[in-house]
């Protein structure tokens, strides 16, 4: 799979999009109400209104959208006859924009057909602009939807969804609250480290993952301490993009498989669920990935390169746990009101995500998954 998107990046990269908009008469802008209010987004809307004869705006994308939300958005569209879909927002918005770029094509499969596995052949032109640095949705062939009836999430996956254009614009991420910047940053880290250690890892995904992690380790905490540091913000956007590119060429594994039920049933934000699971899952897979963990450890700004690989691999897991703590993200399910009586459900639901479980670099059974979840209930571990 190739990444065929043209990426434009940098401060004020959206100031003149006339070259992208030539010949486009009908555009659909997909966002949410919070993002719509950002001054840089208002400026973009003014530019689009000036250059495009017909601009429809969908600003009702909820966090963690379900298939019903997307169906309602499609039903409410004044017209599906558009020649450009622009998504501007976090991962949920970008996922919905990707789906709409397929659904707004004549004779496109229905959403039900896509969920049932039918593959689309084409989409309308698309431009994706992330406002968080985490999901990497702008670089993945995936759109993730909640399925409330089954209390889980499902991925619609097709390279057809990869956009024509991506804009990485640091000033769009400065209004992110610190807790969102933290949890989405950890989501990006999970994409990078999981793809790097997956059974399906390969030289292309490894290269993206290493570049992304180097940028992330150098910049994540700076973006929290200095929200207006545009260089750090741009580095995080690229780290997130490389995380998405890693997914497009490899795939995530244990953290994501175990976080799906936490999002699907308990509606934990995806980045928060991943943050809770990052260190425990990496502690579990470490023995199967010692040399790769050592390579990642060497990217840390204060790495002690005199350690041997085994020591480095342990030090990386320790670093992950400390990072989540420094970012003030939850480290247990108890503090989120989820008790150990939910363990049987969580174990079963995580093992159901076979698409990701098969990427774990070692054998994983129900006992292993239960043991990792158990670490999220500190009261049981005393």
pLDDT in tens, the chain (382 residues): 455 789 999 999 998 888 888 999 999 999 999 999 999 899 999 999 999 999 999 999 998 899 999 999 999 998 889 999 999 999 999 999 999 999 999 889 999 999 999 999 999 999 999 999 999 999 999 999 988 888 778 889 999 999 999 999 999 999 899 999 999 999 999 999 999 999 999 999 999 999 999 999 999 999 999 999 999 999 999 999 999 999 999 999 999 999 999 988 888 999 999 999 999 999 999 999 999 999 999 999 999 999 999 999 999 999 999 999 999 999 899 889 999 999 999 999 999 999 999 999 999 999 999 999 999 998 887 6
pLDDT at residue 382, rounded to an integer: 61
Q: The whole model's pTM is what?
A: 0.95
Is the Cα torsion angle 45, 98, 265, 60 positive or negative in sign?
Answer: positive
Instruction: Cite the beta strand spans of the chain per DSSP E.
Output: 6-9, 26-30, 54-58, 84-89, 126-130, 142-147, 152-157, 165-168
- Whose tokens are 């290493």? That residue is 210
Which structure tokens are listed for 308? 């041997």
pLDDT at residue 1, rounded to an integer: 43
State how far the Cα of 326 lies from the Cα of 323, in Å rounded to an integer.
Answer: 5
pLDDT at residue 120, rounded to an integer: 95
Contact residues for 127 (Cβ-Cβ < 8 A; gap 6+) = 17, 20, 84, 85, 86, 87, 163, 164, 165, 166, 167
Contact in structure between 126 and 97 (CB atoms under 8 Å): yes
pLDDT at residue 79, rounded to an integer: 85
State how far the Cα of 178 lies from the Cα of 171, in Å rounded to an integer.
Answer: 15
Q: What share of the chain is helix, strand, coil (3-state, %, to 5)?
A: 55, 10, 30
DSSP string, 277-337: HHHHHHHHHGGG-HHHHHHHHTTSTT--TTS-HHHHHHHHHHHHHHHHHHTT----SGGGT
State how far the Cα of 214 lies from the Cα of 271, in Å rounded to an integer.
Answer: 20
Question: Angle at CA 103, nearest 5°, toward 98 and 105?
Answer: 110
- Whose tokens are 């496109």? That residue is 108
Dihedral pair phi/psi, residue 106, rounded to 5°: -60, 140
């Amino acid at each position: 799979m190739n990444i065929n998107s043209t990426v434009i990046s940098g401060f004020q990269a959206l100031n003149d999009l006339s070259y992208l908009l030539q010949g486009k008469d009908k555009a659909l802008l997909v966002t949410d109400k919070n993002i719509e209010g950002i001054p840089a987004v208002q400026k973009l809307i003014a530019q689009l209104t000036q250059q495009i004869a017909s601009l429809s705006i969908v600003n009702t994308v909820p966090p963690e959208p379900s298939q019903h939300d997307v169906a309602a958005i499609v039903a409410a569209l004044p017209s599906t006859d558009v020649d450009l879909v622009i998504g501007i927002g976090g991962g949920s918005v970008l996922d919905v924009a990707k789906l709409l770029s397929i659904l707004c094509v004549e004779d496109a499969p229905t959403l039900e057909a896509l969920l049932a596995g039918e593959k689309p052949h084409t989409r309308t032109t698309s431009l994706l602009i992330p406002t968080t640095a985490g999901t990497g949705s702008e670089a993945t062939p995936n759109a993730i939807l909640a399925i409330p009836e089954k209390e889980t999430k499902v991925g619609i996956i097709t390279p057809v969804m990869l956009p024509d254009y991506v804009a990485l614009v640091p000033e769009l991420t400065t209004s992110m609250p610190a807790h969102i910047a933290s949890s989405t940053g950890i989501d990006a880290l999970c994409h990078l480290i999981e793809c790097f250690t997956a059974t399906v890892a390969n030289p292309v995904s490894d290269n993206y993952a290493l570049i992304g992690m180097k940028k992330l380790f150098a910049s994540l905490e700076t973006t929290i301490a200095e929200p207006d540091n545009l260089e750090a913000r741009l580095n995080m956007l690229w780290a997130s993009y490389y995380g998405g590119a890693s997914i497009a060429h490899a795939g995530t594994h244990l953290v994501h498989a175990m976080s799906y039920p936490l999002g699907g049933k308990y509606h934990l934000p995806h980045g928060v669920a991943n943050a809770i699971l990052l260190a425990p899952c990496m502690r579990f897979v470490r023995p199967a990935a010692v040399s790769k963990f050592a390579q990642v450890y060497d990217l840390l700004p204060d790495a002690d390169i005199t350690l041997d690989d085994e020591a480095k691999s342990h030090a990386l897991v320790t670093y992950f746990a400390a990072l989540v703590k420094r970012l003030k993200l939850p480290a247990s399910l108890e503090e989120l009101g989820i008790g150990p009586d939910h363990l049987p459900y969580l174990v079963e639901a995580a093992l159901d995500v076979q698409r990701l479980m098969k990427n774990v670099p070692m054998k994983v059974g129900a006992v292993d998954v239960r043991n990792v979840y158990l670490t999220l209930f500190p009261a049981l571990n005393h």
